[in-house]
């Protein structure tokens, strides 16, 4: 049984299914936050936000797998190549959507935007006041990922240079523990007993959005990639139980759904690592050749996965515009038809952006670095 190799195994169908699941969870969560909406979509208020955590686990796994593959071959990490790849994959369409938000107020789902410099410096997630500056607030997760992309290769290069890479698992453990301790400290200092409606904005600013409290998912993805690359015997044993890993993930997510999704103390401190572990098990199952997700080739989920980044960036603006137009036209915005139209438009616009922005810049990237990933 072979380990994951980002060059040899170009398409992992299981990860496409999970990307599609992640974006659908996020879409459902944000859709029910608009009024009106079908009543059944309010279920997403409890679990839909965890789609971001699934994205974190996927990003942690994929990015670290690429870097670990180079280390495993004894090659030095090229910061230039790494950052060129990240720049052309992430930033062109991101800057395009930022421009849309600032140039066309009709696209804004709320009243006010954070300052432009926060979007350019990827610091929007620090001190984010979602109540008063909630437009394009979902870009907070991109800030977390950009910080991860910046520091992960630097840390790995440092460990390589000091011959400490073999002990790097201690850093993973330490960062997990630090995240838990930080959330405990923040809770005890600012909330002590409970989070009320009045302090929910503070809770989001202090616990939900900052990078240093939301590394759990990325660390879970890095851990899976490390096992896959550097512990082949252990990974071979684990990957034989792919479907059971998926089942265990679903059981853990069910427990989390009933006991650890909220703004109470236990959810704030332990909910994020538990969600990350659950989605980590799901990713591990999805990349295991023994699982049904690994072997299930679906054009639908592959398409949604391909368009997921573009959809994530602008879906709130689409929902806002469609619901506004329907309200003026006297069409029932509570209907499932409105929901389907919003989803369809998100897919169509994402496809247009993919072929007009993402693909050309990816081709440009390949020319610059002289290789494809």
Sign of the alpha-carbon dihedral angle for 50, 93, 351, 303: negative
Q: What is the pLDDT of residue 7?
A: 42
Percent of the chain with pLDDT over 90: 79
Q: How far apart are CA 191 and CA 202, in angstroms?
A: 9
- Contacts (Cβ under 8 Å, ≥6 apart) of 320: 34, 107, 108, 109
Torsional sign, CA 206, 201, 146, 274: positive
> Does the pLDDT value for residue 195 go beyond 80?
yes
Does 109 score more than 60 pLDDT? Answer: yes
Distance of CA 146 to the CA centre of its chain: 11
Q: Quickly state the pLDDT bin for 371 (edges 50, 70, 90).
A: low
Question: Tens of pLDDT along 116-164?
Answer: 999 999 999 999 988 888 899 999 999 999 999 999 999 999 998 888 8
Q: Calculate the alpha carbon distances from 140 to 146, 154, 203, 261, 314 in Å.
A: 10, 22, 15, 19, 13
Helix ranges (DSSP H) in the chain: 13-33, 44-47, 51-72, 79-103, 116-121, 140-161, 169-190, 200-203, 216-230, 232-239, 242-259, 265-266, 272-286, 292-295, 299-329, 336-353, 359-369
How many residues are present in the chain? 373
Cβ(310)–Cβ(93) below 8 Å: yes
């Amino acid at each position: 049984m072979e380990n994951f190799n980002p060059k040899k195994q170009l398409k992992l169908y299981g990860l496409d299914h999970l990307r599609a699941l992640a974006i659908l969870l996020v879409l459902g969560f944000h859709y029910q936050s608009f009024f009106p909406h079908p009543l059944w979509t309010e279920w997403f208020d409890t679990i839909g936000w965890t789609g971001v955590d699934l994205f974190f686990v996927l990003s942690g796994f994929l990015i670290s797998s690429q870097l670990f593959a180079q280390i495993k071959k004894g090659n030095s990490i090229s910061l230039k190549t790494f950052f060129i790849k990240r720049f052309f994959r992430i930033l062109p369409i991101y800057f395009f959507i930022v421009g849309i938000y600032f140039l066309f107020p009709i696209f804004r789902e709320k009243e006010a935007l954070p300052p432009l410099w926060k979007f350019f410096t990827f610091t929007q997630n620090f001190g984010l006041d979602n109540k008063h500056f909630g437009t394009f607030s979902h870009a907070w997760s991109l800030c977390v990922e950009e910080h991860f992309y910046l520091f992960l290769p630097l840390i790995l290069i440092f460990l390589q240079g000091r011959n400490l890479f073999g002990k790097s698992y201690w850093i993973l453990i330490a960062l997990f523990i630090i995240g838990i301790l930080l959330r405990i400290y923040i809770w005890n200092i600012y909330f002590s007993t409970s989070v009320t409606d009045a302090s929910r904005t503070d809770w989001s600013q202090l616990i939900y959005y900052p990078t240093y409290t939301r590394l759990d998912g990325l660390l879970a993805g890095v851990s899976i990639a490390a096992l896959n690359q550097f512990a082949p015997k252990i990974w071979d044993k684990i990957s034989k139980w792919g479907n059971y890993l998926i089942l265990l993930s679903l059981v853990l997510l069910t427990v989390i759904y009933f006991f650890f999704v909220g703004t109470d103390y236990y959810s704030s401190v332990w909910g994020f690592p538990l969600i990350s572990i659950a989605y980590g098990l799901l990713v591990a199952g999805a990349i295991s050749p023994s699982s049904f997700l690994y072997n299930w080739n679906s054009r639908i989920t592959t398409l949604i996965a391909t368009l997921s980044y573009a959809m994530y960036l602008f879906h709130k603006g689409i929902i806002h515009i469609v619901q506004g137009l329907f309200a003026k036209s006297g069409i029932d915005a509570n209907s499932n038809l409105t929901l389907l139209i919003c989803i369809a438009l998100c897919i169509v616009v994402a496809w247009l952006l993919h072929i007009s922005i993402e693909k050309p810049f990816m081709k440009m990237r390949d020319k610059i670095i002289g290789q494809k990933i």
